[in-house]
Every structure is written in C-alpha cells, then in structure tokens.
Structure 1
Amino acid sequence: MPTLYLIDGSAYIYRAFFALPPLSNSKGFQTNAVYGFTTMLLKILREHRPDAVAVVFDEKGPTQRHEEYQAYKAQRPPMPDAMSAQVPYIHRVVEALAIPAIRLAGHEADDIIGTLARKAEQAGHDVVIVTSDKDMYQLLTPRVRIYDPVKDKWIGEPECRERFGVEPARVAEIMGLMGDAIDNIPGVKGIGEKTATKLIGQFGTIEELLRRVEDVTPARTKTMLIEQAENARLSRRLATIQTDSPVEFDAEALHVKPAHEDRLVELLRELEFTSLLKSVQPSAPQASIHDAAVETIESESAARAFVDRMGKTETVAVHCLLSGPPGVRADVQGIALSAASRTAFIPLDVHGYMRPITALFHDATRTKAVHDLKSVLLALHRIGVTLAGPYFDTMIADYLLNPNRRDHGLDTLALELLDHRLGARESEPAPAASLFEVETGSHEQAAERAAAIAKLAPLMQERLREQGSLKLFQDVEMPLVPVLADIERNGFLLDVDGLHALSKELERELDRMMESIARLAGGEFNINSPKQLAAVLFEKLALKPIRKTKTGYSTDEDTLTQLAAQHELPAQILNYRTLSKLKSTYVDALPELINPDTKRLHTSLNQTVAATGRLSSTEPNLQNIPVKGDYGLRIREAFIAPKGHELLCADYSQIEPRILAHLSQDPRLVGVFAKGEDIHMATAMEIFGLPSSQITREMRRAAKTVVFGIVYGISPFGLSQNIGVSQAEAKKYIETFFEKFAAVRELMDRNISDAKTKGYTTTILGRRRPIPELHSGDPVQRGVGERMAVNSPIQGSAADLIKLAMINVHRKLHEDLPHVKMILQVHDELIFEVPEHDLDEAKRLVKSEMEAVGKQLNLSVPLKVDLGVGKNWRAAHP
C-alpha cells in the first residue's frame, strides 16, 4: 500500500530548538532549530522513502479549544525570539524540499493530522505520523503508526497497550482523567496516570465511570470524581484529537516530488549547513575540476616538462596521498601537483624522476599551496624531501576566516567555495571530511584534491585580505607550521620503567583505598556504579542529596565535593576516582603510545581547534599532564632528558595580566609591571588594604584567583566556590579590584560593546573571533557571549604572542644552537631538550628571544620569562 508520512512540524521546531546547542552561522544567526528540523526531514526522505508526505504546522490565533476553555495552553511562555526568527527558514526548507506545508486557522496541527490520517487510511494508504507526542496514540490503528526519528522508535497498537494498558481509542479517556500540564488541561486533580489507567481499564470511558461512580474505591478517589466530574468531561473533550477538520486529502498533491535543488542548495549555503550540503545528492554528474587531463609522471623527462611549463613564480598546489596513522608515522604513497591549469600525479620514486620535483619543492620564490601543511611536511621528511616556504595552507586559512567552525576539511571548502563535491561520482556519496586529511585513496582523488587546492588558494587569500587577517596568516600562522612539525618530529623521551613501577604502586594504593571505602560504607559495593554509590550515600549513610537527575540522585564530582563536608566517604571516593583516572589516562596509557621507531612520545599540536587561537594537543594530550598532587608530579618525572642532556623549561610569567595591563592602559596595573612587582601581591594589598608584610599566602592565592577570574569573566558565585568565601565577600573582592583598577572595567565594557556592534573581537595582531552568542535570545547564552568578549582579546593575544616566540626562538636556535630541540609547548611554557654543553647559551638565547616579543608587539609592559632546568619535567618546571 502507498504510505503517507504526516510530520508534526510545530512540535519538531520546539524539539530541535531545545535539544540542540545554540548553533550559529558566521553571521551570528542562530540555526539550531533549522538544523535539527532539516536533518529530521532529510532522514525521513532518505531512509524511509515515503510515497506521500506533508508537514503540518500550527497556525497563529485561537482554536475551538480556546473558545471552550480560555485557560487552554495559557501558561505556555511565548516562543523564544531565537526560535521564532528561525521559523521562516524552516518554512523555506520545507518549500525547497517540495513538501506540502499544511496549516489551517482555528485548527491545531494535531487535528489536521488526525483528519488526514483517517481520510488517507480510508483511501487505501498506510499512514505514519512523525511525532513524539503521546496524545497521538489515540490515532493508532492497524494501518496508522507513529515514528519518532530522534529515538528511531516505531509505535503501533501493541506499544500503546503496553504504555497505557488500553486500546488507542481509550487514550483520550485516560488523558481526560490525568490532565496535561503542558497544555493546561485540568483533568481530575489528585488522579495521576497510574490511577487513570486503572479506572479506564475497569470502566472503559469517563461517562461510564461517572455513571457508576458509586462503585469506585477508595472513597477519596470517588469523592474527587464526583466533585470534578465536569473537569473530567471537559478535559476529555480537550484531549480528544478531532478527525473531522475541514481539510481535504489529495493523494496527488501530497505525492513526493523532486526537491527544488537550486533553492535548497542556496538555502543550505546561507545557513552554512556544510554537512547537510554534502548529503544532498546532485541530480547529474558534476563537471571535472581539472582544466585539462591529469598527467601521470613516470619519468624524469616528464617531470621536468611539467615543471618547465609553470610560470617562474606561479603557486603550485601539493597534495600527498598518505597512508597509515596521522602525524610522524604517515607514509607517502604518491604526490599530486596542480599549477598552470595542469594537474599531475607522481607515483613515488625518490631515486629517479623526483629530482625536478624536489628542485621545485626547494624553490623559495614559489608559494606551495597545501591543505594541512604540517602533515605533508612530516610525511615528506620521512622520504627525505623538504618542502620550502612560502606556504599557503587552505585549512589554516579557513580557520582564520571561520574560527568557530569545527570542520575545516578540504571537502567542506571545495563544496562551499567551488561548488564541487570531492570524490563524488554519479550516485556515489562524498567521502567524510578528516581533520588531518590523512587518507588512502586513488590517484584520481589525489589529483582532484590538488586541483581543488590550486583553485581555493587565491580565493581564500583574497578573503583573508578583505577580513584584515592576511598579515596574521603570513607572519604568524604559516611560519609556525614548520616549527610545530619539528616539535612533533622531535618527540619527548619517556621513562617507561618508571611509569610501570608507578602503575604497580598505584594499583596497591587503589586496593588499599577500596578496603578503606568498604569499611566506611559498611560493606563492599561497585564504586563505578552511580546507582550503587547513591544507595550507599543516601540510603545507607542517610546523607542529604544535593541534586537529582533523570536516573536518580547525582554522585558527580561537585556533589561529592559538597558531601565531603558531611562524611569521610565522599572524600575517599573522590581520591579514588582521581588516582584511578591518573593510572588509566596517563600511567598505563602513555607507554602504549610510544613510537616504536623513535622510542619517543609524539603528540599532535593543532592550530585549527581552539577559536581563541591557542594550540591544542592530541594523541596524546600533553597539555593536560597534571601539575599538582604527588602522583601528578611523579608522572611529570617520567618525561625525561636523554643522557648528556637537560630539559630547559621557559615559562612566561603572568602573561595574561600583562596583556590586560597593555590593553586597558590602567595606570596602576601598568605601574606594577613596569616596576617589576608581583601583580598578585599588589592586588592582595589593594583588596585587603594591608602592607605586603601582612599578606599571607592564602590572601595572595585569593588575589591571584581574583585577577585570573576577572580575565575570564568570573561571577561572585564562581569566585566564592574557588576560594572558599561567601558570595558577598567574593563580590566585594571583585568590586574592590575594579575600584582600584578602574580602566580594566572600562576595557571590559568596551570589549562587550564593540563585540555586539561588530559581531567579533580582535587580538593585538588582529585575530578575529565571532561571538554570535551576544545576540542570542537566551540570557544564559548572552552571558556566555559577554564572558567570551571579555576574555578572547586577552587569551587570543597571549596565543599570538607565544606563537611569535616559538617562531623567533626556533629560527635563532636553528642559526646558533642547532642541537637544541624544542619538544613541547604547553600554554605559556616552552620545553627544550638541550645538550649539557649548550645549556648556558640556550638559557640566554631562549629568555632573550621570548622577552623580546613584547617589544615586537609594542607592549606597554615588559615581559618576564622564568627558566627551569632539570633531568625531568618536574625538576625543570620553573
């Protein structure tokens, strides 16, 4: 039988809006409801292939239920502004997909769906109602089912009987008794779903129940029914979905038709739904991205001829066909080049016809356009090939243009900017985008990617110029890539035996803690089971619960921290969790990640992840190695220098407060750093009104938390939690800081105001960060946006500064101390592996170059770098 899908459009607008985070496009327009709704529609069309389909929406204005009962839905808050702004786009999506949208003044979507379902059934159709609304259960028949696409769940008559204990026709009777708080249907106060189900199961209908009310037990229920009989009848009428609305079923009009492809693509582009764009299949094969046939170079003469045809300074696009894991272990399977409207693929043979190509790669007058340059530099190094700058990395260019976007894959850029789906053939889906672009694939795919890079580079360069980001790209981001490649290649030496010994020690300590926990709990239980832990804490020990979740009382870290004040057990559980995580995440995991060829640990440092401009570390994340606690510090002891070497750690002192001083030009703050004083001591003296001799360590720590809290937009509540004082006292600390350093408050207000006007913040070097949250209809999201507007110029400027330092130090070491290796960057700290005989010169060079960045940026305050030296990371940390 033909199948008609009836989609509850209004319900899914709400569901998508509240289920998804407040996604926004680069213009700051919130898109989460449109995205969720569109994804649902495409899923239905693609996976279920209905014969006919319609989306039914509520129309504005009162309905017949409002006429009968004025309080109907009266308590519902108005639609949030951020949601209502998306509704027109949802209507445009439905229209672009050529799906009929049905709405009728004075009639609710439920009633239209009910009417169409009955008429379609009578006309010989099977019907699927796409909804999550339990009210719709009353429409179920052998030929009418419900489908919930979010849960991927089908509901028919058996599921209705299992859920309510009655046939679908009796569901409205149950709803009439129990009422509905969402729609403000009163029901019979005091009767819930369980009692309603039992009564309807016994009496069949509300009318029969009221007719035989004397048979009802207990007496209390009987009294409620007698007193609220009219409410029950009214509620049943309100809860009953009408099947006689004035809407006609026209099978031909509802038959699925081809989407208006041009309109759909244009709309998805406007909304920046790149992943959905990839899923929309073209109706015909797309044109080749190559301007001429792809050459396969298999001789030195062919390689030379290809190079000779290029202009002397023409940009060449390079794409390596890689295999294996990303990073330092990736292998080159072949190289694709694109330039001068020609594209070629080179099956790798470094001993023969690669010579003209390597000469091309060494040419320092020619720009090399690449996507994910770092992975290419690492892979080429493994085969003894150097790719000299200048570079143009399309992945990093997109990151500067769209820092809030997660996907900077080449597939995304080609689709968005070139209207070309990489790897797509007729009826063949596009390959998934990859952050690292490390892939196996055909020669044709590699050549296609090189051609795409060649076409993207000039487009993206012009966009960077228009945005004012080209100088940042050329002077900071591009020179940084080979520095990061060197750091990753160098790796960090690990004391594996020491970690194995620590693992055994931790195992013994965890066993001892388990015994102590069992003693405190009065018996053994599964510590990793939240349900069992909750039973011990809140039933056995009778501690007062802090917070309830959907599955029971919370036993998360915040809850246990608060409960630790009442009993020793929660504190022990926290200690156990901390040690267990240290053991599994670091002590046991790190040795498994050592490269078998180099015997070292090689992290990946990523430029295109954090919107602030900071680098991130993955596989493994070495920026999260614990810096506090005995066992955390002992893990750092396992990061060692080889024999005859020392580790040198160079850490910028109080970098973010110094940038805050520069940006705010607060005279007191600038003066503190100009005199070489300790900002945290100075802040403590101002807040507590005491001379330095009377400032305790606790006071200085509190002042330090205030300073960094100000930078990150902390609230009095957050500060009170961090330093263990009342909210009133925390508020007083913050207010005192702003009284003493008034220009800081002016800077923050100015940052928020400018970001609201422009839509983005900028760093000292002009790095942009869009903050669409500032225009959100949700006050919580606006608050998040304001904190971002305060912090991003400071944190982003710190990120730019450390990148410049890395570039300068790396260049100087290469010139003067080539045996000194930079092996890691962690936030404001650089770590070097230094031969013992180069140590003094390395300390002088690193400190000098890092502190000189302040003058390079014309900072109003001097930079200060603290140095530490040792045989391991713990000993070397300043």
Structure 2
Amino acid sequence: MFTHVHIHPPLPPSPSPPVYFSYRTLKFETAAATIAKTRKTEAATHGAITPPASVCGSFNQAADGQLVPESDAKKTGKKRVFFLDVNPLCYAGSTPSLRSFGRWVSIFFSQVSLSDPVIAVLDGEGGSEHRRQLLPSYKAHRRKFVRPFPASQRFSRGHVGRSHGIITDVLGKCNVPVIKIKGHEADDVVATLAGQVLQKGYRVVIASPDKDFKQLISEDVQIVMPLDELDRWSFYTIKHYIAQYDCEPRCDLSLRCIVGDEVDGVPGIQHMAPGFGRKTALKLLKKHGSLENLLNAAAVRTVGKRYAQEALTKYADYLRRNYEVLALKRDVDIQLKEEWLVERETHNDLTILSNFFKLLEETQKLTHQTGSNFSDG
C-alpha cells in the first residue's frame, strides 16, 4: 500500500511576542441568510475580505462545552493533542471555499487550541473506495457536488483539490504537521493516531463537524465542532453524548448500523423489518452492549419480540456489512512522531493568516476586474 505523508517541520521561534487572533465576529441569522448576505456585500465591495483581528485572552472548554479560561481546563492534568479534520472546513455548504477554511482555522488557533499540539489530516485520494465496494450507496449523494467548476473554482475529485497546496503551506507555516495518506479517509487516519496519542497518556480533541467521530468519544476523547450560526467552535463531550442519545458512546456505531445513517448513505433495516426502530435497537444494545454481542445472542436464543428476533437472524450479514462500512479503521499504516506532540509555536500565526486573507482579497479583486466568475476556492 502506497503511503504519502506531508509533514512540515516547525519554523524557528520568532523573537516577537505571541499574538492571538480570530476572524471578525458576525451576527448570524441562518446559515443560508449569512452566506447570501456575505456574497452580496462582497460583490458591492469588489470582494474585499476582512483579515483576522486581534483578540485578548486564552480560552478552553467548561464541563458544559462553553469556552472558559485555559487555566481552568488545565486542572484536569493530562495534556491535550488536537486533530484538525481539514476537508469539511474547506466548504461553505456544498461550495468549495478557502475563506471558510481561513475563518475556522483563525478561530480555532486563537480561541480553542492555542499553543496545544495540532495535527491536521486531509482525505487521501481514493480513501472511500473500499467502503463503496462494500456498499455503493456510501456517501453517494455527496458525489453530486463533484461537478466541473470554472478554473478559478475547481477542487479536484471532490476534495479540496488543487488548493491542497495552499492549505498545506498555511498550516505548515503555523507549525502544524499536515498528513494525507493515499487510499485512506482522514477519519481513519485520525482514529489510528488518536489511539496512539491516548497510549502516551494524552487527551485527544478532534476538531470536526463529522458525526462519525462520536464513536470515539470517551472520558479522554472529545470533539470540538464549528457552529456556523454562532461563529464559534463548541466542545462536545461524553456528557453531551449521553444527554443527547440516552446511551453510552460505545453503542453509537452499533445503533447506526441498525437504524442506518442517511447522511452517509447507509440504510438501516426499518424498510425490511417495520417496527424495528431506534427505540427497539437502543433497548437491545443497552442490554447486550454491542451489535456483535446482540447478533451472537440472537443466533442461539430469543432476544426480543418476534419481529426483532427474525430481523436480527435474517439480516445479520446485512448489519455486519453496515458495521464494516461505518466503523472507523484504527490500523492505518502510520506512526505518531514525537515532534508532533510538542507545544505549537504560535509567533507566526498572525502574519501567516493575515497574508492568506490578503491573497484571497487580491485574487478576488483581480478576478472581478477581468470579469470572470470567482470563488474563493
């Protein structure tokens, strides 16, 4: 298997004091209204982009997921390592957007990760193919967004495409290693490296809007999600998961295998076994702990009402296939490097990201003058 890993070494420390920044705060009504308003404003101002503005203070998460001073978070003892799931941040809805990437990374560096180690991960080419071979409908609806863009907008093969180089350069200069492994989705790479980080005694925080990462949540694994309507990242912990789903995270994957995952194009068994819904699935999983335990039990004895028993025995292979599709792989051929775990040097953040926003602004102005269609992708 061919492995391609992009790693940028840290830059030498700068003598200037650290400066934290964030993308300017906007008042959001709805995501759609905001995008429309932003585009209208950009058109009126020839596409001017506001660079990051300085903010004061260091923040982290409280028990309820809100941001609090970093000193309070450090009382937990274990150091944190952040994983940045890059690809979802490079889209505004279904539209490729480098501005979206810049906005969320700016807020992330200034208000969330601060100087904690950050490891960025990109989807590798062909990363979804092994899952699509098992289930052709896997993420099939997302392929409709893989359409021809004008030259100024094109993101190759459904990924961030030709803009990978720009993104890798920005993150590398901000002392963030950038990893992309051919044949593997970013989710699997993160799951593999997260396990190695935990073995070294760190806590893990995964920065991503992808719900697939909920199967990894534990006392030492949290998620921080970008909330577009609030213009900030929000922490999501094991307490939030239990409050939302009324079960432990260990049931997450098994539950999705039974009820399906519409977003990822993975059908459940309700269409084949009417009445076998979330309530029944959750009751059985709470008792048996996992899908495999439940299927093994159903194979030798009655585990529930007749319709549930028949569904579990008749569609066992179907459910196991769903499990193989939805489960994050934790055995990707990559090894954690010690240099990825050191405190991140932040002195260059303001300069690097300010230059990035200036580049977008200059490109927009140039494109407007030539009269061609422009997307910040």
Separation (CA, whole Å) in 2 of partners of 1:152 and 1:216: 42
Contact 1:173/1:206 (8 A) holds in 2? yes
**Corresponding residue of 2:206:** 129
Query: What's the CA shift for 1:775?
Result: 5.5
Residue 356 of structure 2 is aligned to residue 267 of structure 1: yes
Indicate which of 26, 36, 46 corresponds to 2:110: 46
**Corresponding residue of 2:138:** 72
Query: What's the CA shift for 1:128?
Result: 0.7
Contact 1:8/1:131 (8 A) holds in 2? yes
Separation (CA, whole Å) in 1 of partners of 2:323 and 2:132: 14
Query: What's the CA shift for 1:38?
Result: 1.4
The 5-angstrom pairing of residues 393-792 of structure 1 reads 774=373
User: Which residue type is aligned with residue 325 of structure 2?
Assistant: L
**Corresponding residue of 1:188:** 269
- Find the structure with the greater CA-based Rg: 1
SS, match of residue 82 in structure 2: strand
SS, match of residue 262 in structure 2: coil
Separation (CA, whole Å) in 2 of partners of 1:206 and 1:273: 54
Identity value in percent: 25
The 5-angstrom pairing of residues 198-237 of structure 1 reads 198-213=283-298, 215-237=302-324
- Show CA shifts across 1:507-554 (max 9, x none): xxxxxxxxxxxxxxxxxxxxxxxxxxxxxxxxxxxxxxxxxxxxxxxx
Separation (CA, whole Å) in 2 of partners of 1:777 and 1:262: 20
Separation (CA, whole Å) in 2 of partners of 1:38 and 1:775: 17
Give the 3 Å change call, closer, same or farther, for CA 86–195 of structure 1 in structure 2: farther
**Corresponding residue of 2:54:** none
- Show CA shifts across 1:260-299 (max 9, x none): 776544432110189xxxxxxxxxxxxxxxxxxxxxxxxx
Indicate which of 59, 77, 94 corresponds to 2:124: 59
Separation (CA, whole Å) in 2 of partners of 1:148 and 1:158: 15
Contact 2:106/2:353 (8 A) holds in 1? no
Residue 13 of structure 2 is aligned to residue 13 of structure 1: no
Query: What's the CA shift for 1:147?
Result: 0.9
Indicate which of 71, 91, 101 corresponds to 1:37: 101
- Show CA shifts across 1:717-745 (max 9, x none): xxxxxxxxxxxxxxxxxxxxxxxxxxxxx
Give the 3 Å change call, closer, same or farther, for CA 172–127 of structure 1 in structure 2: same
Q: Highest relative contact order (Cα 8 Å, sep 6+), 1 or 2?
A: 2
Residue 335 of structure 2 is aligned to residue 248 of structure 1: yes
Contact 2:259/2:278 (8 A) holds in 1? yes
**Corresponding residue of 1:874:** none
SS, match of residue 132 in structure 1: coil
User: Which residue type is aligned with residue 345 of structure 2?
Assistant: K
Give the 3 Å change call, closer, same or farther, for CA 114–212 of structure 1 in structure 2: same
User: Which residue type is aligned with residue 220 of structure 1?
Assistant: Y
**Corresponding residue of 2:31:** none
User: Which residue type is aligned with residue 266 of structure 2?
Assistant: I
Give the 3 Å change call, closer, same or farther, for CA 41–242 of structure 1 in structure 2: same
Identify unmatched segments of 5+ residues in structure 2: 1-77, 156-161
Number of residue pairs matched? 275
SS, match of residue 76 in structure 1: helix
User: Which residue type is aligned with residue 170 of structure 1?
Assistant: C
Give the 3 Å change call, closer, same or farther, for CA 73–262 of structure 1 in structure 2: same
Give the 3 Å change call, closer, same or farther, for CA 4–776 of structure 1 in structure 2: closer
Give the 3 Å change call, closer, same or farther, for CA 76–2 of structure 1 in structure 2: same
Contact 1:176/1:239 (8 A) holds in 2? yes
**Corresponding residue of 1:145:** 222
User: Which residue type is aligned with residue 184 of structure 1?
Assistant: G
SS, match of residue 40 in structure 1: helix
Query: What's the CA shift for 1:217?
Result: 4.4
**Corresponding residue of 2:191:** 114
Query: What's the CA shift for 1:97?
Result: 2.2
SS, match of residue 59 in structure 1: coil
Indicate which of 159, 167, 178 corresponds to 2:240: 159
Give the 3 Å change call, closer, same or farther, for CA 68–113 of structure 1 in structure 2: same
**Corresponding residue of 2:80:** 3
Give the 3 Å change call, closer, same or farther, for CA 776–234 of structure 1 in structure 2: same
Separation (CA, whole Å) in 1 of partners of 2:102 and 2:133: 34
Separation (CA, whole Å) in 1 of partners of 2:208 and 2:201: 22
Give the 3 Å change call, closer, same or farther, for CA 238–50 of structure 1 in structure 2: farther
**Corresponding residue of 1:169:** 250
**Corresponding residue of 1:840:** none
Identify unmatched segments of 5+ residues in structure 1: 23-31, 275-400, 403-466, 468-757, 761-769, 779-878
Contact 1:179/1:185 (8 A) holds in 2? yes
Indicate which of 144, 161, 166 corresponds to 1:89: 166
User: Which residue type is aligned with residue 109 of structure 2?
Assistant: L
Contact 1:3/1:50 (8 A) holds in 2? no
Separation (CA, whole Å) in 1 of partners of 2:209 and 2:352: 30
Separation (CA, whole Å) in 1 of partners of 2:358 and 2:251: 47
Contact 1:33/1:83 (8 A) holds in 2? no
**Corresponding residue of 1:699:** none
Query: What's the CA shift for 1:134?
Result: 2.1
SS, match of residue 142 in structure 2: coil
User: Which residue type is aligned with residue 209 of structure 1?
Assistant: L
- Show CA shifts across 1:584-610 (max 9, x none): xxxxxxxxxxxxxxxxxxxxxxxxxxx
Query: What's the CA shift for 1:158?
Result: 1.7
Separation (CA, whole Å) in 1 of partners of 2:139 and 2:293: 28
User: Which residue type is aligned with residue 226 of structure 1?
Assistant: T
Normalising to structure 2: TM-score of the pair? 0.63
Query: What's the CA shift for 1:203?
Result: 2.6
The runs of at least 4 consecutive aligned structure 1 residues that moved more than 6 Å come to none
Query: What's the CA shift for 1:68?
Result: 4.2
Separation (CA, whole Å) in 1 of partners of 2:287 and 2:329: 25
- Show CA shifts across 1:55-89 (max 9, x none): 11111114543454455334431435336165543
SS, match of residue 272 in structure 1: helix
SS, match of residue 95 in structure 1: helix
SS, match of residue 242 in structure 1: coil
Separation (CA, whole Å) in 1 of partners of 2:164 and 2:146: 10
Give the 3 Å change call, closer, same or farther, for CA 83–4 of structure 1 in structure 2: farther
Contact 1:53/1:100 (8 A) holds in 2? yes
**Corresponding residue of 1:788:** none
Query: What's the CA shift for 1:103?
Result: 1.3
Query: What's the CA shift for 1:233?
Result: 0.8
Contact 2:250/2:290 (8 A) holds in 1? no
Richer in helix (by share): 1
**Corresponding residue of 2:345:** 257
SS, match of residue 215 in structure 1: coil
User: Which residue type is aligned with residue 243 of structure 2?
Assistant: E
The 5-angstrom pairing of residues 778-817 of structure 1 reads none
**Corresponding residue of 1:306:** none
Give the 3 Å change call, closer, same or farther, for CA 66–50 of structure 1 in structure 2: farther
Query: What's the CA shift for 1:195?
Result: 3.7
Query: What's the CA shift for 1:6?
Result: 0.4
SS, match of residue 149 in structure 1: strand
Separation (CA, whole Å) in 2 of partners of 1:166 and 1:101: 34
SS, match of residue 220 in structure 1: helix
- Show CA shifts across 1:821-871 (max 9, x none): xxxxxxxxxxxxxxxxxxxxxxxxxxxxxxxxxxxxxxxxxxxxxxxxxxx
